[in-house]
Amino acid sequence: MRRFLTREELIHQIKIKKTCLCIGLDTDINKLPSHFQKTPESVVEFNESIIEETHDLCVSYKLNTAFYEAMGSAGWECLKRTIELIPENSFVIADAKRGDIGNTAEQYVQAFFEDLDVNAITLSPYMGKDSVTPYLNYKGKWIILLGLTSNEGANDFQMQPLTNGRLLYEEVIETSALWGSPGNTMYVVGATKTAAMKRIRRIIPDHFLLVPGIGAQAGNITSVLSNALSPDVGLLINASRSILYAGAGKDFAIKARTEALRLKKMVENSF
């Protein structure tokens, strides 16, 4: 059975679990606790333990494909097996940042929505509408477009002022919001970009934002909440490294749970 989660179902999960935490399973084979062998099989075992200890504390898992592609075809299999281990009520994001012309996008639809069967894929907007619509045509699945990213390089192009008075990331968000709806489109907005979050909320009051940059990248969770929380919550706040590598010993999964719980407590009184 295919994996689908509507906007209403996602909001329901957030409300009953009292969390909008997304955990990034960006598992680096070289950073596994020392009692693991350095094999793709071990990455699946590691992920399984993390999922077991955290699935009640988060509503979403995000898998950055780079960490799996780095292990070749065995890594792709590892990606698929990890996704199969995630409970059906969790929103699964392939953080793939793809973006290509229409006939190629159709192939990525097959790879991510059919074969890997994730709920959502992250996409780069640079190639415009026809690089995005093939994903939107797949009923019940989601796209998450890069809006304003958390890294320093976001200043190079995303913050460029356009002659129409907008910054590039504002143009990207305002234009692309018309291609889909809050029911199939989210945006990546880095936690380090709190000043911009209010502007973004004015452009898209109803869309969910996927917010990376908490934890290792030092974004502030409280200011994210105060600037970007919407009546329907409208946020998936992601932490990856700070949870995955909270412990380096045999108790790594318990330490991961403790860190996930700490982040959950920071937001659970907000909704």
- Catalytic residues, by residue number, are 97
Distance in angstroms (rounded) separating the CA atoms of residues 187 and 139: 18
Distance separating alpha carbons of residues 54 and 36, to the nearest angstrom? 20
Minimum distance of its own copies from residue 180's CB (angstroms): 14
Q: For residue 39, which amino acid is it?
A: T
**Which of 3, 98, 193, 207 is close enough to bind its own copies by CB under 8 A?**
98
Out of 37, 152, 195, 269, the residue judged to bind its own copies by CB under 8 A: 152
Chain positions 241 to 270 lying near its own copies, rule: CB under 8 A, are none
131 binds its own copies (CB under 8 A): yes
What are the CA-CA distances from residue 102 to residues 59, 127, 173, 222 (Å)? 31, 10, 20, 40
Tokens coding 42:
């071990």
User: Which is nearest to 67 in space by CA: 242, 260, 241?
Assistant: 241
Stretch that binds its own copies, among 121-129, 136-144, 203-211, 228-236 (CB under 8 A): 121-129
Q: How many residues bind its own copies (CB under 8 A)?
A: 59
| Contact criterion met (CB below 8 Å) for 241 and 26 | yes
Residues 6 or more apart whose CB falls under 8 angstroms from that of 205 comprise: 230
In the complex, what is the shortest distance from the CB of residue 223 to its own copies, in angstroms, rounded to a whole number?
A: 20
Of the residues 17, 62, 91, 125, which one makes contact with its own copies according to CB under 8 A:
125
**Neighbour count for residue 46 (Cβ, 10 Å):** 22
User: Cβ 190 to its own copies, closest distance in Å?
Assistant: 9
Residue from 15, 49, 138, 171 that binds its own copies (CB under 8 A)?
171
Terminus-to-terminus CA distance in the chain, angstroms? 32
By CB under 8 A, name the binding residues for its own copies: 26, 28, 64, 66-67, 69-77, 80, 97-102, 104-105, 107-108, 110-112, 115-116, 124-132, 146, 149-158, 160-164, 168, 171-172, 175
